[in-house]
Chains A and B, each alone.
Chain A
Amino acid sequence: MDNKTFYDWFAQTLAGYFKKDWSGALLAVVILAIAIELVTDGRSFFHPSNLMTILNNSAALGVIAGGMTLVILTAGIDLSVGSVMGMTAALTGYVASYWGFPPVLAVLFGIGLGLSIGLIHGTLVARFGMPAFIVTLAGLSIWRGTGHLTTGAQATPKLDSLFDFFGRYNPLSPLREGYREATLPEFLMPLGQWVDANWLEYFRTFQMSLVIFIVFFIVLGLIVKHTKLGRYTYAIGSNEQGSRQAGINVRLYKTLAYVICSFTAAFGALMFLGRAPYAKSDYGQMWELDAIAAVVIGGTSLFGGRGSILGTFLGVILLKLINNGLTLAQLNTFWQMIVLGMIILLAVGIDIVRQNASPERIKQVLFAIGAATLLFAAMHPASSYFGSLIALHEHQSMQAILDAGGQLAPNQMTRLLDSDALIAVQAVVSSQALLAWGLLIATIAGFVMVGSPSRMRALVLGGVIVASAVGLMLQGLPGFPVLMLGLVTVLGSLMTDDLFQRAKAVH
Chain B
Amino acid sequence: MKSFVKMIAAGAVAASVSLTALAGGHSKITVGYITKSATNAGWIMINNGASDAAKEVGAKLITVGPAFQGDLSSQLEVFENLTSQGVSAIAVAPVDSSGIAPAVKAAMDAGIPVVAVDTGVSGAEVTSFVATDNEAVAEIQGQEAAKLIQDGDKIIYVTGNQAQSTGQERRDGFMKGFKQSRPNSEILIVPTEWDSNQAQAGVEALINNHSDVKMIVNAWDGGTMGAKAALENLGYGAGDVKLVGFDGATDAIVAMDEGWVHVDTAQMLYKMGYEGVKAAVAAAKGETVSKRIDTGTFLVTPDTSAEYKKLIGM
Contact = CB atoms under 8 A, between A and B. Distances in A.
A141 interface: yes
Contact of A277 (B40, B191, B229): B229
A275 B202 contact: no
Interface residues of B, number: 39
Contacts of B40: 153
Contacts of B204: 53, 56-57
Contacts of B190: 327
B311 interface: no
B148 interface: no
B206 A276 contact: no
A193 interface: no
A43 interface: yes
Given A275-B233, A336-B191, A327 B225 contact: no
Interface stretch (B53-61, B86-94, B125-133, B208-216): B208-216
A170 B235 contact: yes
Interface in B269-289: none
B201 A277 contact: no
A144 B40 CA distance: 14
Given A277-B226, A330-B189, A207 B233 contact: yes
A502 interface: no
Interface in A310-332: 320, 323-324, 327-328, 330
Interface stretch (A27-35, A113-121, A278-286, A344-352): A278-286
Contacts of A334: 162-163
B295 interface: no
A209 to B, nearest CB: 9
A384 interface: no
Contacts of A410: 122
The interface centre, meaning the residue of A40, A327, A334 with most chain B CB atoms within 10 A of its CB, is: A327
Contacts of B39: 148, 153, 281-282
Contact of A168 (B196, B211, B232): B232
A54 B40 CA distance: 28
A480 B271 CA distance: 54
Contact of B234 (A47, A204, A282): A204
B141 to A, nearest CB: 20
The interface centre, meaning the residue of A57, A278, A285 with most chain B CB atoms within 10 A of its CB, is: A57
A40 B208 CA distance: 13
Interface string B191-206: 1000111101110111
A399 interface: no
B228 A141 contact: no
Interface string B162-199: 11000000000000000000000000111100011110
Contacts of B293: none
Interface string A30-66: 0000000000101100010110011011000000000
B82 to A, nearest CB: 24
Contacts of A330: 188-189
Contacts of A277: 196, 200, 225-226, 228-229, 251
A155 B251 contact: yes
Nearest to B234: A204
Contact of B206 (A154, A157, A283, A327): A327
B1 interface: yes
B41 interface: yes
Interface in A205-227: 205, 207
Given A53-B204, A204-B235, A328 B209 contact: yes
Interface string A147-173: 010000111010000000001101000
Contacts, number: 94
Nearest to B258: A158
Contacts of A50: 205, 208-209
Contact of A283 (B159, B197, B202, B233): B197
Contacts of B188: 330
Contacts of A1: none
Contacts of B159: 333
B140 interface: no
B293 to A, nearest CB: 19
Interface string B26-40: 000000000000111
A287 to B, nearest CB: 10
A153 B40 CA distance: 7
A153 B38 contact: yes
A404 interface: no
A328 B205 contact: yes
Given A282-B39, A323-B201, A275 B234 contact: no
B123 interface: yes
A409 B123 contact: yes
Contact of B233 (A56, A141, A200, A285): A56
Contacts of B162: 333-334
Contact of B205 (A272, A275, A324, A411): A324
A328 B195 CA distance: 18
A65 to B, nearest CB: 16
Contacts of A333: 159, 162, 189, 191
Nearest to A138: B1
B10 interface: no
Interface string A473-500: 0000000000000000000000000000
B44 interface: yes
Contacts of A323: 198, 201-202, 205
Nearest to B196: A277
Contacts of A409: 122-123
A493 B97 CA distance: 52
A278 B211 contact: no
B122 A411 contact: yes
Nearest to A275: B233
15 contacts: A56-B204, A155-B41, A168-B232, A204-B235, A205-B208, A207-B233, A275-B233, A277-B200, A277-B225, A278-B225, A327-B202, A327-B205, A327-B206, A334-B163, A409-B123
Given A277-B226, A323-B201, 15 more contacts: A50-B209, A56-B233, A57-B201, A57-B204, A57-B205, A137-B1, A155-B251, A275-B200, A275-B229, A323-B198, A327-B202, A330-B189, A333-B162, A409-B122, A410-B122
What 7 pairs between A and B have smallest CB-CB spacing?
A153-B39, A333-B191, A277-B225, A277-B229, A168-B233, A57-B201, A43-B209
Interface of A: 40, 42-43, 47, 49-50, 53-54, 56-57, 137, 141, 148, 153-155, 157, 167-168, 170, 200, 204-205, 207, 272, 275-278, 281-283, 285, 320, 323-324, 327-328, 330, 333-334, 336, 409-411
Interface of B: 1, 38-41, 44, 122-123, 159, 162-163, 188-191, 195-198, 200-202, 204-206, 208-211, 225-226, 228-229, 232-235, 251, 254
